[in-house]
Every structure is written in C-alpha cells, then in structure tokens.
Amino acid sequence: MFVVTTERFEQLVAEALGSLPSELGSAMENVAVLIEGRTEGRSLFGLYEGIPLTKRGPTATRE
C-alpha cells in the first residue's frame, strides 16, 4: 500500500476521467464521481448503484 495526498488523489481521478474516450465521456452525463477517504471493512475500488443501461427500458427516467 502507498499513501498519496488528497490533492494528488483528486488529480489522479481527474486525469483518469479526462483520459476516457470521448464517446464514453459523453455517455456519462448523469454520473457522479464521489471520492471518499476510506471504506470500512472492505476493499472497494468502485461501486455503481442503479439500473444498468442494458436493463433500462425505453421509458426509463433519469435520476
């Protein structure tokens, strides 16, 4: 494990999001990226909570 400052971690997240292909970035218009200091009791690197795009019907609404 290594330690990075909060500022450096936020910079890394911004760089990662900025490096996404434009087609994918434009499809993420209603995605929130939250950065938290730690997860209690588990190794969690990412979590999507919601209805997968492949399971949404034609009348699905945006939240």
**pLDDT (tens digit per residue) in 4-50:** 888 898 898 889 888 988 888 777 777 777 776 666 776 766 777 77
pLDDT score recorded for residue 44: 66
- Residue 46 in any domain: the answer is yes
pLDDT score recorded for residue 1: 67
pLDDT score recorded for residue 30: 73
pLDDT score recorded for residue 32: 75
- Residue 60 in any domain: the answer is no
The domain of 34 spans 6-55
pLDDT score recorded for residue 38: 66
Q: Helix, strand, or coil here: 43? A: coil
- Residue 62 in any domain: the answer is no
**pTM, rounded to two decimals:** 0.51
Question: What are the residues whose beta carbons fall under 8 Å from the beta carbon of 27, sequence distance 6 or more?
Answer: none
Total domains, the chain: 1
Tell me which long-range contacts 37-42 makes (C-beta under 8 A, separation of at least 24). 37/6
